[in-house]
């Protein structure tokens, strides 16, 4: 059992991406990974609640407001492409511009 677990953990390289969300941007707003990578996003907010949505992956989570910890999202980058992500929680006038892209190549 432990052996299997270790195999699964070592089979896919994991990349931790620390990200900051604040009105009205994600920093970084462009993330590039290799196919086969397990991406672990760790996102914290510098102000209010935000959302983190990757429509192509069916991911939509809440980033807690500043001081309330971080959001952790795991994304297995199995196919190449450009996958947009965006804020999914109305956070003010620039909300619709709060977006970024995950590039898998």
CA–chain centroid gap for 70, Å, is 11
Asked if 68 and 38 count as a contact pair (C-beta separation under 8 A), the reply is: no
CA distance 49 to 43: 11
Nearer to Cu ion, 53 or 77 (CB): 53
If one asks whether residue 71 binds Cu ion (CB under 5 A), the answer comes out as no
The H or E element that residue 22 is part of is: strand 14-22
| Contact residue for Cu ion among 31, 91, 102, 104 (CB under 5 A) | 91
What's the min distance (Å) between Cβ of 71 and Cu ion? 14
Q: Kindly state the smallest distance separating residue 89's Cβ from Cu ion, in Å.
A: 5
Task: List interacting residues with Cu ion (CB under 5 A).
Answer: 87, 91, 95, 98
């Amino acid at each position: 059992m432990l052996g299997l677990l270790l195999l699964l953990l070592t089979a896919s390289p994991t990349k931790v991406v620390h990200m900051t969300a604040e009105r009205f941007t994600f920093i970084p707003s462009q993330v590039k990974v290799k196919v086969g990578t397990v991406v672990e996003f760790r996102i914290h907010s510098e102000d209010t609640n935000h959302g983190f949505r990757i429509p192509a992956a069916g991911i939509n989570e809440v980033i807690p407001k500043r001081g309330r910890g971080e959001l952790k999202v795991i994304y297995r980058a199995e196919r190449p492409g450009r996958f947009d992500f965006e804020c999914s929680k109305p956070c003010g006038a620039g909300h619709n511009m709060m977006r970024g892209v995950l590039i898998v190549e």
